Amino acid sequence: MSSPSSMRKNPSLPGRRARSSRRRPLRAVCAAAAVLLVLSGCNPARSGEAENYTLKFSHVTTAETPKGRAAEFFKKELEERSGGRITVELYPNSELYGDKDEMQAIQSGAVQMLAPASAKFTTVAPSLQVLDLPFLFDTAADIPEVASPETEVGKAIYANEDLEANGMKVLGLWDSGMKQIHSNNRTLAPADMRGKKYRIQPSDVLRTQIEAWGGIPTPLAFAEVYNGLQQGLLDGGENTYSNIQSQNMHTVQKYITELDHGYIGYILVINSDWYESMPADLQRVLEEVAADSSAYNREESQKVNEESKGVIEEAGTTEIVIPTEEEREAFKDVVVPSEYEKYRDVIGPEIIDELLERQGES
């Protein structure tokens, strides 16, 4: 006859088998539930309205620029309106990611939001080069009408399928402002640019525009432009007053030609997966704040550029040259409509037709 202790140690006894068989279904159910949880994409950040979210927002300009001020506005408003459920971490002036790696960062989820210039999307969404076309707007006041969501230009921005396919959702269009030519030689005609190196953003449209005027286009990251000018690796470039002044480019450039020949627009994008991970009420708050930030940015853009122009004038290191209407028209005649037609298939024929009709070139 077996002792009580030997009965407890014997795994072949009926009692042990009964208890073991009861545990197996429970374990199986738990395992299946865990698999379903993973497959459904559930995670703690999506499990309830009480969860908190951290949004990393990286950009390449200083906090004093139109983009920088709009980013600060966005942070303040989103944190307040979300009741603290969303925390925004800002990384300005290429502190976290720069021109060379910010696009990869948002696609990988290393950051959740960017506001890159449209030129940075050349390889991802070629049709966005429409915003790089020369003389797209005569003044900043034209921007809301030409680039509204209802126009062909606006559709290329707000309903861009290439951006969606690359995991980005568009939340707005922010302005940096109108571009000017900065250089070490007085520039009042395309001939004045012949053979000189001008920094550009990485865009085919900007490259062929500078080439059409006789210059040598030189793509370079924004954070490296000042050193390039200081060391004489560049003769000049094109940028807004706020970007020129905030990076001290004017201190190493003798002239700025107020040509208003181009536009720098920032596409406010968010990582699609991160956006979809939030509950619907926070998605609505995010979109509302993005829309208000775009309106705030447009007002600030004109104000900041005027302030920056004043700072440059007071510094006394750079002469601001204002071309006549005839001189500005001479620049325009070289690139319109030829540059528009050159990118008809890349940007989209319906967009080009709309723009040329607006300019009276159809």
Q: What is the model's pLDDT at position 361?
A: 76
pTM (2 d.p.): 0.83
Beta strands 168-178 and 263-271, pairing class: antiparallel
Q: Which of 105, 103, 109 has the alpha carbon at shortest distance from 128?
A: 103
Strand partners, 87: 54
Q: What is the pLDDT of residue 360?
A: 84
- Find out whether 105 and 97 touch, Cβ atoms under 8 Å: yes
Q: What is the pLDDT at residue 342? A: 98
What's residue 185's pLDDT? 96
Number of Cβ within 10 Å of residue 24's Cβ equals 9
Which tokens is 65 given?
């620029």
pLDDT at 50: 61
Q: Locate tokens 């181009």: which residue? A: 262
Taking 50 as the pLDDT cut, the residues of the chain under it are 1-49
Tens-place pLDDT, residues 110-165 = 999 999 999 999 889 999 999 999 999 988 889 999 999 999 999 999 999 999 99
pLDDT computed for residue 49 by the predictor: 46
pLDDT digits (tens, 9 = 90+) for 254-304: 999 999 999 999 999 999 999 999 999 999 999 999 999 999 999 999 999
Going across the sheet that includes 86-91, the strands are 86-91, 53-58, 113-114, 263-271, 168-178
